[in-house]
Amino acid sequence: MIDKIPLCFENGKVNPQAIRWDSYPFVHAELYKHWGRKKQWMYWAVVCPRGVFATVIANVDYMKIGSVYFAHFNQSTVVEKAKVQFTKRNIFVPPSPYENAYFKNPSVNLEYETLPAKTLLKAETTIKGKTFSAQIEIHRDISFPTLNVVIPWTNTRFQFTSKQLPFPAKGKVLFGDKVFEFDERDTFACLDYGSGKWKYQTDWNWSAGYGYDIHERKIGINLGGLWTDGTGQNENGIWIENCFYKIHEEVKFTWNHENPLEPWSIKTKTSDNINLTFKPFHIRPDSTDLIILKSKVIQCFGNFHGTVKIDDQNIELDSLLGWAEEHHALW
Protein backbone atom coordinates (compact mmCIF):
# COMPACT_ATOMS: atom_id res chain seq x y z
CA MET A 1 0.00 0.00 0.00
CA ILE A 2 1.12 3.57 -0.60
CA ASP A 3 0.17 6.92 0.87
CA LYS A 4 -2.46 8.80 -1.11
CA ILE A 5 -1.93 12.29 -2.42
CA PRO A 6 -4.58 14.86 -3.47
CA LEU A 7 -5.75 14.54 -7.06
CA CYS A 8 -6.26 18.30 -7.16
CA PHE A 9 -5.92 21.33 -4.94
CA GLU A 10 -8.74 23.40 -3.46
CA ASN A 11 -8.19 25.99 -6.21
CA GLY A 12 -9.33 23.33 -8.69
CA LYS A 13 -5.96 22.72 -10.33
CA VAL A 14 -4.47 19.26 -10.77
CA ASN A 15 -1.70 18.22 -8.42
CA PRO A 16 1.40 17.89 -10.68
CA GLN A 17 2.68 15.03 -8.51
CA ALA A 18 -0.48 13.06 -9.37
CA ILE A 19 0.21 12.98 -13.12
CA ARG A 20 1.54 9.43 -13.36
CA TRP A 21 0.40 5.83 -13.07
CA ASP A 22 0.64 3.21 -10.33
CA SER A 23 -0.58 -0.30 -9.59
CA TYR A 24 -2.56 0.96 -6.58
CA PRO A 25 -5.04 3.87 -6.37
CA PHE A 26 -2.59 6.51 -5.21
CA VAL A 27 -4.79 9.62 -5.13
CA HIS A 28 -7.58 10.97 -2.97
CA ALA A 29 -9.89 11.91 -5.82
CA GLU A 30 -11.87 14.75 -4.23
CA LEU A 31 -12.76 17.45 -6.79
CA TYR A 32 -12.98 21.22 -6.29
CA LYS A 33 -14.23 24.22 -8.30
CA HIS A 34 -15.45 24.37 -11.92
CA TRP A 35 -19.06 23.28 -11.41
CA GLY A 36 -20.45 21.43 -14.41
CA ARG A 37 -17.08 19.95 -15.40
CA LYS A 38 -16.73 17.53 -12.46
CA LYS A 39 -17.51 13.88 -13.31
CA GLN A 40 -17.32 10.93 -10.95
CA TRP A 41 -18.55 7.39 -11.49
CA MET A 42 -18.32 3.72 -10.59
CA TYR A 43 -19.09 1.29 -13.39
CA TRP A 44 -19.09 -2.46 -12.84
CA ALA A 45 -19.37 -5.07 -15.59
CA VAL A 46 -19.85 -8.75 -14.75
CA VAL A 47 -19.35 -11.00 -17.79
CA CYS A 48 -19.44 -14.68 -18.61
CA PRO A 49 -19.79 -16.53 -21.95
CA ARG A 50 -23.58 -16.60 -21.48
CA GLY A 51 -24.36 -13.02 -20.50
CA VAL A 52 -23.48 -9.69 -18.91
CA PHE A 53 -24.70 -7.54 -16.04
CA ALA A 54 -23.48 -3.94 -15.93
CA THR A 55 -24.33 -1.12 -13.57
CA VAL A 56 -23.19 2.46 -13.01
CA ILE A 57 -23.55 5.16 -10.39
CA ALA A 58 -22.50 8.52 -11.80
CA ASN A 59 -22.41 12.13 -10.59
CA VAL A 60 -21.85 14.51 -13.50
CA ASP A 61 -22.51 17.65 -11.43
CA TYR A 62 -25.76 18.85 -12.96
CA MET A 63 -27.35 15.41 -12.91
CA LYS A 64 -26.96 12.10 -11.12
CA ILE A 65 -27.45 8.75 -12.85
CA GLY A 66 -28.05 5.18 -11.71
CA SER A 67 -28.44 2.42 -14.29
CA VAL A 68 -28.51 -1.32 -14.89
CA TYR A 69 -28.08 -3.40 -18.04
CA PHE A 70 -28.50 -7.13 -18.50
CA ALA A 71 -28.20 -9.30 -21.60
CA HIS A 72 -28.49 -13.05 -21.97
CA PHE A 73 -26.35 -13.64 -25.05
CA ASN A 74 -28.06 -15.47 -27.93
CA GLN A 75 -31.38 -15.17 -26.10
CA SER A 76 -34.19 -12.64 -26.32
CA THR A 77 -33.58 -11.22 -22.84
CA VAL A 78 -31.94 -7.78 -23.09
CA VAL A 79 -33.12 -5.18 -20.58
CA GLU A 80 -31.84 -1.92 -19.16
CA LYS A 81 -32.99 1.02 -17.11
CA ALA A 82 -31.47 4.37 -16.20
CA LYS A 83 -32.76 6.90 -13.70
CA VAL A 84 -31.69 10.54 -13.84
CA GLN A 85 -32.14 12.84 -10.87
CA PHE A 86 -31.04 16.41 -10.23
CA THR A 87 -30.63 16.31 -6.47
CA LYS A 88 -27.46 15.15 -4.74
CA ARG A 89 -29.49 13.43 -2.04
CA ASN A 90 -29.30 9.64 -1.82
CA ILE A 91 -26.33 9.28 -4.15
CA PHE A 92 -22.68 8.88 -3.27
CA VAL A 93 -19.63 8.27 -5.43
CA PRO A 94 -16.57 8.06 -3.16
CA PRO A 95 -13.16 9.69 -3.69
CA SER A 96 -11.62 6.19 -3.84
CA PRO A 97 -12.48 2.96 -5.68
CA TYR A 98 -12.22 1.09 -2.36
CA GLU A 99 -15.19 2.74 -0.67
CA ASN A 100 -18.92 2.12 -0.83
CA ALA A 101 -21.19 3.78 -3.39
CA TYR A 102 -24.96 4.01 -3.56
CA PHE A 103 -27.88 5.40 -5.57
CA LYS A 104 -31.10 5.19 -3.60
CA ASN A 105 -34.10 6.17 -5.67
CA PRO A 106 -37.65 4.74 -5.64
CA SER A 107 -37.14 3.90 -9.32
CA VAL A 108 -33.63 2.39 -9.18
CA ASN A 109 -31.85 1.28 -6.03
CA LEU A 110 -28.12 0.43 -6.26
CA GLU A 111 -25.55 -0.43 -3.61
CA TYR A 112 -21.87 -1.28 -4.10
CA GLU A 113 -20.34 -2.48 -0.84
CA THR A 114 -16.57 -2.88 -0.59
CA LEU A 115 -15.21 -5.31 2.00
CA PRO A 116 -11.56 -6.34 2.57
CA ALA A 117 -11.73 -9.46 0.35
CA LYS A 118 -14.87 -8.96 -1.72
CA THR A 119 -17.28 -6.45 -3.20
CA LEU A 120 -21.05 -6.87 -3.22
CA LEU A 121 -23.28 -5.40 -5.93
CA LYS A 122 -27.00 -5.08 -5.26
CA ALA A 123 -29.58 -3.70 -7.68
CA GLU A 124 -33.35 -3.45 -7.53
CA THR A 125 -35.76 -1.86 -10.00
CA THR A 126 -38.76 -2.55 -12.22
CA ILE A 127 -38.39 -2.94 -15.98
CA LYS A 128 -41.35 -3.37 -18.34
CA GLY A 129 -43.60 -3.99 -15.37
CA LYS A 130 -41.44 -6.84 -14.07
CA THR A 131 -39.24 -6.95 -10.99
CA PHE A 132 -35.52 -6.84 -11.73
CA SER A 133 -32.87 -7.57 -9.13
CA ALA A 134 -29.22 -8.53 -9.07
CA GLN A 135 -26.95 -9.73 -6.29
CA ILE A 136 -23.32 -10.26 -7.27
CA GLU A 137 -20.34 -11.23 -5.11
CA ILE A 138 -16.93 -10.28 -6.49
CA HIS A 139 -13.75 -11.83 -5.08
CA ARG A 140 -11.76 -8.61 -4.94
CA ASP A 141 -8.58 -8.51 -2.90
CA ILE A 142 -7.60 -4.85 -2.48
CA SER A 143 -3.90 -5.83 -2.56
CA PHE A 144 -4.26 -7.15 -6.13
CA PRO A 145 -2.44 -4.86 -8.64
CA THR A 146 -4.67 -2.56 -10.67
CA LEU A 147 -4.25 0.10 -13.36
CA ASN A 148 -4.42 3.65 -11.97
CA VAL A 149 -3.49 6.74 -13.92
CA VAL A 150 -4.10 10.49 -14.04
CA ILE A 151 -4.66 11.85 -17.54
CA PRO A 152 -3.84 15.57 -17.94
CA TRP A 153 -5.37 17.81 -20.62
CA THR A 154 -4.76 21.15 -18.84
CA ASN A 155 -4.16 22.08 -15.22
CA THR A 156 -7.94 22.37 -14.72
CA ARG A 157 -9.06 19.50 -17.01
CA PHE A 158 -7.86 16.07 -15.97
CA GLN A 159 -9.07 12.57 -15.09
CA PHE A 160 -8.12 9.89 -12.61
CA THR A 161 -9.14 6.44 -13.77
CA SER A 162 -8.80 3.12 -11.98
CA LYS A 163 -9.34 0.06 -14.14
CA GLN A 164 -9.60 -3.06 -12.01
CA LEU A 165 -9.85 -6.59 -13.42
CA PRO A 166 -10.10 -9.53 -13.69
CA PHE A 167 -11.92 -10.58 -10.52
CA PRO A 168 -13.87 -13.87 -10.23
CA ALA A 169 -17.56 -13.23 -9.56
CA LYS A 170 -20.74 -15.14 -8.84
CA GLY A 171 -24.38 -14.31 -8.27
CA LYS A 172 -27.86 -14.07 -9.72
CA VAL A 173 -29.97 -11.79 -11.85
CA LEU A 174 -33.73 -12.12 -11.53
CA PHE A 175 -36.09 -10.62 -14.10
CA GLY A 176 -39.73 -11.52 -13.61
CA ASP A 177 -39.82 -15.30 -13.39
CA LYS A 178 -36.43 -15.74 -15.10
CA VAL A 179 -33.25 -16.49 -13.17
CA PHE A 180 -29.73 -16.10 -14.58
CA GLU A 181 -26.75 -17.37 -12.62
CA PHE A 182 -23.13 -16.25 -12.89
CA ASP A 183 -20.68 -19.04 -12.04
CA GLU A 184 -17.32 -17.88 -10.71
CA ARG A 185 -15.55 -20.57 -12.75
CA ASP A 186 -16.18 -18.64 -15.99
CA THR A 187 -17.24 -15.16 -14.82
CA PHE A 188 -15.08 -12.10 -14.35
CA ALA A 189 -15.83 -8.60 -13.07
CA CYS A 190 -14.28 -5.30 -14.11
CA LEU A 191 -14.43 -1.92 -12.38
CA ASP A 192 -14.12 1.40 -14.17
CA TYR A 193 -13.75 4.10 -11.52
CA GLY A 194 -13.40 7.68 -12.68
CA SER A 195 -13.02 11.09 -11.06
CA GLY A 196 -12.04 14.21 -12.95
CA LYS A 197 -12.92 17.45 -14.67
CA TRP A 198 -13.69 16.95 -18.33
CA LYS A 199 -13.95 19.05 -21.44
CA TYR A 200 -17.52 19.39 -22.65
CA GLN A 201 -16.86 17.34 -25.81
CA THR A 202 -15.02 14.04 -25.39
CA ASP A 203 -14.49 10.85 -27.39
CA TRP A 204 -13.02 7.59 -26.20
CA ASN A 205 -12.37 3.95 -27.00
CA TRP A 206 -12.18 1.31 -24.31
CA SER A 207 -11.73 -2.44 -24.31
CA ALA A 208 -11.24 -5.01 -21.58
CA GLY A 209 -11.01 -8.78 -21.60
CA TYR A 210 -10.13 -11.88 -19.63
CA GLY A 211 -9.17 -15.44 -20.48
CA TYR A 212 -6.09 -17.57 -21.04
CA ASP A 213 -3.11 -17.51 -23.34
CA ILE A 214 -1.94 -20.59 -25.26
CA HIS A 215 0.11 -21.63 -22.21
CA GLU A 216 -3.03 -21.61 -20.02
CA ARG A 217 -1.93 -18.57 -18.03
CA LYS A 218 -4.66 -16.25 -16.80
CA ILE A 219 -4.66 -13.03 -18.83
CA GLY A 220 -6.52 -9.78 -18.33
CA ILE A 221 -6.16 -6.75 -20.58
CA ASN A 222 -7.29 -3.12 -20.60
CA LEU A 223 -6.78 -0.82 -23.58
CA GLY A 224 -8.05 2.67 -24.36
CA GLY A 225 -7.66 5.41 -26.90
CA LEU A 226 -8.75 8.80 -28.26
CA TRP A 227 -9.27 10.48 -24.89
CA THR A 228 -5.68 9.91 -23.74
CA ASP A 229 -3.95 10.55 -27.08
CA GLY A 230 -1.14 13.10 -26.88
CA THR A 231 -1.27 13.50 -23.08
CA GLY A 232 1.80 11.41 -22.27
CA GLN A 233 -0.30 9.00 -20.21
CA ASN A 234 -2.70 6.19 -21.09
CA GLU A 235 -4.78 3.39 -19.57
CA ASN A 236 -3.13 0.46 -21.34
CA GLY A 237 -1.93 -2.61 -19.48
CA ILE A 238 -2.03 -6.38 -19.15
CA TRP A 239 -2.33 -8.81 -16.24
CA ILE A 240 -0.45 -12.13 -16.50
CA GLU A 241 -1.56 -14.34 -13.61
CA ASN A 242 -1.15 -12.05 -10.57
CA CYS A 243 1.35 -9.63 -12.13
CA PHE A 244 0.51 -6.37 -13.91
CA TYR A 245 2.53 -4.89 -16.78
CA LYS A 246 2.05 -1.31 -17.97
CA ILE A 247 1.87 -0.70 -21.73
CA HIS A 248 3.16 2.80 -22.46
CA GLU A 249 2.33 2.97 -26.18
CA GLU A 250 -0.85 4.46 -27.61
CA VAL A 251 -3.26 2.14 -29.39
CA LYS A 252 -5.70 2.65 -32.24
CA PHE A 253 -9.13 1.06 -32.61
CA THR A 254 -10.31 0.45 -36.18
CA TRP A 255 -13.83 -0.82 -36.87
CA ASN A 256 -16.66 -0.66 -39.38
CA HIS A 257 -19.01 2.10 -38.22
CA GLU A 258 -21.70 0.80 -40.57
CA ASN A 259 -21.51 -2.71 -39.13
CA PRO A 260 -19.96 -2.87 -35.63
CA LEU A 261 -20.37 -6.65 -35.55
CA GLU A 262 -17.59 -7.03 -38.09
CA PRO A 263 -14.12 -7.66 -36.53
CA TRP A 264 -12.36 -4.74 -34.86
CA SER A 265 -8.60 -4.14 -35.04
CA ILE A 266 -6.71 -2.89 -31.97
CA LYS A 267 -3.03 -2.15 -32.54
CA THR A 268 -0.20 -0.08 -31.12
CA LYS A 269 0.40 2.98 -33.29
CA THR A 270 4.17 2.82 -33.58
CA SER A 271 5.04 -0.88 -33.27
CA ASP A 272 3.64 -4.39 -33.54
CA ASN A 273 3.65 -4.91 -29.77
CA ILE A 274 -0.15 -5.14 -29.74
CA ASN A 275 -1.88 -6.78 -32.66
CA LEU A 276 -5.38 -7.87 -31.67
CA THR A 277 -8.54 -8.73 -33.52
CA PHE A 278 -11.79 -8.42 -31.61
CA LYS A 279 -14.67 -10.52 -32.94
CA PRO A 280 -18.05 -9.31 -31.58
CA PHE A 281 -21.10 -11.50 -31.08
CA HIS A 282 -23.38 -9.08 -29.19
CA ILE A 283 -23.96 -5.35 -29.65
CA ARG A 284 -25.25 -2.78 -27.19
CA PRO A 285 -26.01 0.49 -28.97
CA ASP A 286 -27.02 3.40 -26.74
CA SER A 287 -27.77 7.07 -27.26
CA THR A 288 -28.82 9.79 -24.82
CA ASP A 289 -30.19 13.26 -25.53
CA LEU A 290 -30.85 15.25 -22.36
CA ILE A 291 -30.25 18.69 -23.95
CA ILE A 292 -27.11 19.53 -21.93
CA LEU A 293 -25.92 15.94 -21.94
CA LYS A 294 -25.74 13.94 -25.14
CA SER A 295 -23.93 10.71 -25.82
CA LYS A 296 -23.68 8.00 -28.44
CA VAL A 297 -22.13 4.66 -27.58
CA ILE A 298 -21.43 1.47 -29.47
CA GLN A 299 -20.40 -1.33 -27.13
CA CYS A 300 -19.79 -4.83 -28.44
CA PHE A 301 -19.14 -8.03 -26.49
CA GLY A 302 -17.00 -10.70 -28.06
CA ASN A 303 -13.58 -12.33 -28.07
CA PHE A 304 -10.02 -11.08 -28.55
CA HIS A 305 -7.44 -12.94 -30.62
CA GLY A 306 -3.84 -12.02 -31.44
CA THR A 307 -0.56 -11.15 -29.77
CA VAL A 308 0.81 -8.81 -27.11
CA LYS A 309 4.55 -8.35 -26.63
CA ILE A 310 5.79 -7.45 -23.15
CA ASP A 311 9.54 -7.19 -22.58
CA ASP A 312 10.85 -10.49 -23.98
CA GLN A 313 7.46 -12.25 -23.84
CA ASN A 314 5.27 -12.86 -26.85
CA ILE A 315 1.79 -13.53 -25.43
CA GLU A 316 -0.53 -15.34 -27.81
CA LEU A 317 -4.22 -14.89 -27.07
CA ASP A 318 -6.70 -17.36 -28.46
CA SER A 319 -10.09 -16.26 -27.13
CA LEU A 320 -10.28 -13.61 -24.40
CA LEU A 321 -13.87 -12.72 -23.48
CA GLY A 322 -14.65 -9.04 -23.13
CA TRP A 323 -15.83 -5.93 -24.89
CA ALA A 324 -14.78 -3.01 -27.05
CA GLU A 325 -16.55 0.32 -27.33
CA GLU A 326 -16.51 3.79 -28.81
CA HIS A 327 -18.18 6.69 -27.01
CA HIS A 328 -18.88 10.24 -28.14
CA ALA A 329 -20.11 12.59 -25.40
CA LEU A 330 -21.24 16.16 -24.94
CA TRP A 331 -21.47 16.47 -21.17
List, for residues 62-108, the tens digit of each pLDDT value: 899 999 999 999 888 999 999 999 988 899 999 999 999 999 999 99
As a whole number, the mean pLDDT across the chain is 95
**What pLDDT is stored for residue 195 in this prediction?**
98
In 106-217, beta strands by DSSP E: 108-114, 118-127, 130-139, 147-152, 158-175, 178-182, 188-197, 201-212
When pLDDT is cut at 50, 70 and 90, the band that residue 204 belongs to is: very high
List, for residues 286-298, the tens digit of each pLDDT value: 777 665 677 889 9
Identity of residue 20: R
**What pLDDT is stored for residue 290 in this prediction?**
62
Q: What is the mean pLDDT of residues 311-329?
A: 93
Contacts by 260-265 with C-beta closer than 8 Å and gap 24+? 260/285, 260/298, 260/300, 261/300, 264/300, 264/324
Task: Please state, in angstroms and as integers, the Cα–Cα distance from residue 25 to each residue in 4, 5, 140, 249, following that order.
Answer: 8, 10, 14, 21
The gap from C-alpha 283 to its chain's centroid, in whole angstroms, comes to: 17
Predicted confidence (pLDDT) at residue 1 exceeds the cutoff of 60: no
**Residue 138 β-bridge partners:** 119, 169
List, for residues 216-241, the tens digit of each pLDDT value: 999 999 999 999 999 999 999 999 99
CB–CB of 17/5 below 8 Å? Answer: yes
CB–CB of 148/24 below 8 Å? Answer: yes
**What pLDDT is stored for residue 292 in this prediction?**
65
Share of the chain above pLDDT 90, in %: 88
Residue ranges of the domains in the chain?
A: 1-198, 200-331
Which of these ranges, 9-23, 79-93, 247-261, 281-295, has the smallest mean pLDDT?
281-295
Q: What is the pTM of this model?
A: 0.96
Q: Can you name the CATH fold of 1-198? A: AttH-like fold (2.40.370)
Predicted confidence (pLDDT) at residue 120 exceeds the cutoff of 90: yes
**Residue 295 β-bridge partners:** 288, 329
CB–CB of 188/323 below 8 Å? Answer: no
Task: Please state, in angstroms and as integers, the Cα–Cα distance from residue 29 to each residue in 21, 99, 142, following that order.
Answer: 14, 12, 17
